[in-house]
Structure 1
Amino acid sequence: MMDIKCAIVDDEPFARKGIAAYIDKISFLKLTAECEDAIELSEYLNTEHVDLIFLDIEMPELSGLDFIATLSSPPKIIIVSAYEKYALRGYELEVVDYLLKPVPFGRFLKAAHRAHEIITTAHAHSLNISKKAQEEHIFIKVDKKLKKVMLQDILFIQSMGNYVIVHTLHSQDITYCTLQQMFSLLPKHPFISCHRSYIVNMNNISAIEGNQIQVGSYKIPIARNLKDEVMTLILRHQ
């Protein structure tokens, strides 16, 4: 059974302790973070991934509902609140479930199983898409002939003025086109522009050190003005 990484967000220590105890009883839930408020969670999500959030609503500075509204691609969320009046708004934001405090364990378990089903189904769909993507390819003109290049084999693409070098697992091919023209041929994921002279396949990144991306034996620079965006895309990429 797939493990679900989850976080708790509640400004009440006793409430966090109770939810953590419930999570500990469910084998497929793995608690990775406990946060006192939505701002702390937001900082955590900048560098870490979670599948599921158990979220309180009435918290200082930023409410749980307002926090959900700030996320473009939020994890799955189960609201845990003492107030029933927010339920409609919660479901409008497509939360998995809405639990009223104090939450009986049986009700909590039902919500956890619902979240597990939704998340594992989405994960399976993602794997199918990834498998299909591995079969995709492009044709580039090399030495007066069209050469088939599998997208999964591309490490990175380097600009050389009006030409680009396509670095793959097996070869380095020069073709006549600009980097921008090449970028338009590629799917948005897993390819990213990390520098005005480079496109990188995120699936083949082995390490990140300072302002450089390690791809195979190559070190690719990250433009200073793109670093935050690039790091966010890489950390969220699966």
Structure 2
Amino acid sequence: MKCLIIDDERPARELMEDNISMVPFLELAGSCKNADEAMKIMESQLIDLIFLDIQMPGLSGLQLLQSGLIEAPMVILVTAYEHYALEGFNLNVLDYLVKPVPFERFLKAVTKARELYLLKNKLVVADAPAPEQNYLWVNSDYSLVRINIDHITHIEGLKDYIKIYQINSDKPVIPRLTLHYMEEKLPADKFMRVHRSFIVALDKIQLVKKNRLYVPNAEVPFTDSYREQLMNYIGGN
């Protein structure tokens, strides 16, 4: 999808440019500081998705939406002011991001845009079962890294990052994501949260001793609040 950024603040544009560069299905068509620059780009090429700031000198983001001058089928508002959310959604924007935008939240918004884009372009067959995906793409060290789900042994949550440990690697992959995000993405029948800071791959558990789980090359703590769920899984296998 071709994307356009409209924001008068250079740091905000640079962060959005960086986020777009991390997503394989997004292509940056232009990064503009005002509506005039954006209009010139939209006159020369088709834009699929616009990231639009609200508070800008001259024509504001909301005024630009109300004017009917932009023809992009999807608009995501990006602003430091939460109180504009209702007005934005009344103008049929796709999503509303509050600065500074975490990459996890950005990814959720653009994934929604991609799904709508595919539907509009009739690339999704109605009622067709989705193929099981056994990998994830994550951004780590300024690169997109493909993670094979079947290779994950456990995941450790840090303050702003996570560590993904795999059976085929001595070093963890460290993306800027949260454990909660990984819980939503990983298959629930294969992974379990066992601690506020750990998710474990159930089929990689080799030994349970006291409050420790042993997986290949590591031991993972688990807390009593997860004990019953964990024991139910072990007892059923």
TM-score normalised by the chain length of structure 1: 0.50
TM-score normalised by the chain length of structure 2: 0.50
More helix by proportion, 1 or 2? 1
More strand by proportion, 1 or 2? 1
